[in-house]
């Protein structure tokens, strides 16, 4: 395992691996999103309390989960870059930030749109909503800090420290519905063996969660592949890749 990680830390191997992996993430994403959307929008029955509006959860919940998962990956990759000076970990952290920020924005916007007919308001300063908004600001701060330095090493160092400090927000988001009396509903998966959703509604949700994970995979791989080319532009192998020469 360690040998494999060391091998992947080589920019050339990393580039080749990401290039090969992209279709393995893209096509499952297309298949899962198609099945998930059809099941969620057409086959799943309406909720007995929320009516048809519950269908928004098929994008709201996966994007909210991904907003936290991507932040975690970004902070861990940033930490690996800081501790072991692995440049490819810095690349993963950097390319994850805009994707995670987009997932967070989707979670916030779809939550607000769902909130209007259900709560009667687009927004409340509820603990879950506010901590998710702070997550968006953390992503934006990370992106700004990363772009504020010309030297990629300094940029990665500064932004990784910010990402690691911001990790404290993840348990706050997750437990906010337990720690405070919030308007936002509690977790549906407190007991995984006995979820509070009917399987006809649960399965499309799980499929959409996997679809969003593959979506992150595709976008992160594409971004990382291109970022490696920029960082290693003075290497002979990058010249060979770009100009089409044999290295």
Partner 1 sequence: MTLAETLSFLPYGKYALYIWLSYGITFILIAGLFVRASINYKKIRIQLKNKYAREND
Residues engaged in binding partner 1 (CB under 8 A): 41, 51-53, 55-56, 59-60, 63, 98-99, 102, 105-106, 109-110, 113-114, 116-117, 215, 219, 222-223, 226, 229-230, 233, 238-239, 242-243
CB of 195 to partner 1, least distance (A): 23
Distances in Å between the Cα of 8 and the Cα atoms of 60, 98, 118, 144, 157 are 34, 23, 48, 28, 21
CB of 92 closer than 8 Å to CB of 220 = yes
CB of 197 to partner 1, least distance (A): 18
Nearer to partner 1, 54 or 89 (CB): 54
How many angstroms separate the CA atoms of 40 and 32, rounded?
12
How many angstroms separate the CA atoms of 134 and 246, rounded?
48
CB of 43 closer than 8 Å to CB of 55 = no
CB of 169 to partner 1, least distance (A): 21
Candidates 210, 190, 188; CA nearest to 199 is 188
CB of 223 to partner 1, least distance (A): 6
CB of 227 to partner 1, least distance (A): 9
Nearer to partner 1, 80 or 106 (CB): 106
Q: How many Cβ atoms sit within 10 Å of the Cβ of residue 247?
A: 10
| Per-residue tokens: 164 | 């690691």
Nearer to partner 1, 105 or 155 (CB): 105
Nearer to partner 1, 79 or 98 (CB): 98
Nearer to partner 1, 90 or 227 (CB): 227
């Amino acid at each position: 395992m360690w040998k494999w990680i060391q091998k992947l830390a080589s920019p050339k191997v990393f580039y080749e691996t990401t290039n090969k992996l992209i279709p393995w993430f893209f096509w499952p994403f297309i298949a899962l999103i198609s099945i998930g959307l059809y099941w969620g929008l057409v086959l799943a029955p309406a909720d007995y309390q929320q009516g048809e509006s519950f269908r928004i959860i098929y994008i709201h919940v996966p994007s909210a989960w991904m907003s936290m998962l991507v932040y975690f990956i970004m902070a861990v990759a940033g930490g690996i870059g800081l501790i072991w000076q692995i440049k490819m970990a810095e690349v993963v952290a950097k390319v994850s930030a805009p994707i995670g920020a987009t997932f967070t924005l989707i979670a916030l916007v779809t939550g607000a749109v769902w909130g209007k007919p259900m709560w009667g308001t687009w927004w409340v300063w509820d603990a879950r909503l506010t901590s998710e908004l702070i997550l968006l600001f953390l992503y934006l701060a990370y992106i700004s800090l990363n772009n504020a330095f010309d030297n990629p090493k300094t940029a990665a160092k500064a932004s990784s420290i910010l990402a690691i400090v911001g990790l404290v927000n993840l348990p706050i988001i997750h437990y906010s519905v337990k720690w405070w009396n919030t308007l936002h509903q509690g977790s549906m998966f407190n007991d995984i063996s006995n979820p509070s959703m009917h399987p006809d509604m649960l399965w499309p949700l799980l499929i959409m969660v996997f679809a969003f994970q593959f979506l992150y995979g595709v976008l992160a791989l594409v971004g990382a592949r291109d970022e490696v080319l920029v960082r290693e532009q003075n290497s002979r192998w990058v010249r060979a890749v770009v100009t089409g020469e044999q290295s």
